[in-house]
Amino acid sequence: MAVHNVTLIRGDGTGPELVEATRRVLEAAVGKFGSSFNWDVVEAGVDIMETAGTPLPANVLESVRKNKVALKGPITTPIGTGFRSVNVALRKELDLYACIRPCKSYVGVRSKYDNIDLVIVRENTEDLYAGVEYDLDTPEAQQIIAMAGGKIRTDSAISIKPFSITGVRRIIQTAFDYAIENKRKKVTAVCKANIMKYTDGLFYRIAREVAAAYGATFAPGTPAAEKPDPTLSAYAGKAAGIVYDEWLVDAMCMQLVQKPENYDILVMPNLYGDILSDLGAGLVGGLGVAPGANIGVDTALFEATHGSAPKYKNQNKVNPTALILSGFLMLKYLKENEAAAALESAIQAVIAEGKDVTYDMKPDRNDPTAVGTAEMADAIIAKL
């Protein structure tokens, strides 16, 4: 029996109602096995901008740092203007360097594919998402343009794409550690090293060194490491039986559309991971069934991959599956493995039955028998 201290970030738009549905389901799941939660409920997002002066108040970060585990509802990010993403800020501030996004088929979810079981492992803190940008005509932009020796037009804004050995090493380690723990068979590194030879080239070089240090089997045609990573000698042989290979990101997009069954764990830099995780969600039915986990050294934050859908706010209409599945990932992280297994079985049963599901999971989106967010949560609790 355990009591888990968890920060509960309600989010904005449809976030609060999704969080409430998920909270009830998670309490039912762990309660079945004698555990419970001590929630620290905090607010973030556009709904508190007027009163707090910021979409990310200091008390939110303080709570997550204290509890080490958080469940977050969707939060709106303005496009092109306004404040930077709260989601990105949380990952940066808490150094949640690994984003884990499973893409798994469930019977009853409409899709052109079935039996998909992919995991996207996305680096979360570097790349073009590091937030190092210089606007048009700023001194910094002009300095970089001058340094580029005519390769950049003078009327350009600039974004910097940093990769570090530290950042790449730990995301590749995360992919192999996940593969080992979950008995997966293959880790595929994805980038665009034929064009970006220094940044993406570094990604491949470090990935090969980590794979060699772990004792992975290099797929035929995959270049060997110059040497195993000398800092990882303690991991020798840990990945025995796991295959390591590489694909360029554009080719991987085609592979996922044509032959997704050939792939297992895909590990990649931040931008590619953002794009391919949505592609992976599309393979299994959409963002409504796509969970996410953001993992750091000793802290983790769990969230759905979809947005806040503010036009549906307070309508008890939006599908809670993605956030509830994110809660399932949280239960696994907390080692509540029996509760996690029971919860996934309950979710699968409700979806397969197709009766107590939201409008987007019905064959006809106008089906009057569709239930609301809260009622779908009730059905999952009943299955538990």
Of 47, 127, 274, 356, which residue is the catalytic one?
A: 274
pLDDT band, residue 17 (cuts 50/70/90):
very high
Question: Among this protein's residues, is 129 annotated catalytic?
Answer: yes
pLDDT at residue 82 is higher than 90: no
Span 23-42, average pLDDT: 97
Q: Of residues 47, 72, 97, 129, which has the active-site annotation?
A: 129
- Rounded mean pLDDT, 227-236: 96
pLDDT at 325 over 70: yes
pLDDT at 79: 60
**Residue 31, class by beta-carbon neighbours within 10 Å (0-12 exposed, 13-18 middle, 19+ buried)?**
middle
Q: Write down the catalytic residue from 95, 137, 250, 367.
A: 250
Greater model confidence, 308 or 141: 141
Residue in 138, 14, 87 with CA at minimum distance from that of residue 270: 87
Q: b/e for 322-331, b at 16 or more Cβ within 10 A?
A: bbbbbbbbbb
pLDDT-based confidence at 148, cuts 50/70/90? very high
Mean pLDDT over the full length of the chain: 94
Q: Find the catalytic residue in 72, 92, 104, 192.
A: 192
Is the pLDDT confidence value at 206 over 70? Answer: yes
Q: What is the DSSP string of 66-115?
A: HHSEEEE------SSSSSPPHHHHHHHHTT--EEEEEEE--TTS--S--S
Q: What predicted TM-score, i.e. pTM, was given to this entire model?
A: 0.93
- What percent of the chain is predicted at pLDDT more than 70? 98
pLDDT category at 85 given cuts 50, 70, 90 is confident
Q: What is the pLDDT of residue 45?
A: 87
Residue 122: strand pairing partners: 99, 268
CA distances from 127 to 118, 172, 330 (A): 23, 15, 26
- Is position 192 annotated as part of the catalytic site? yes
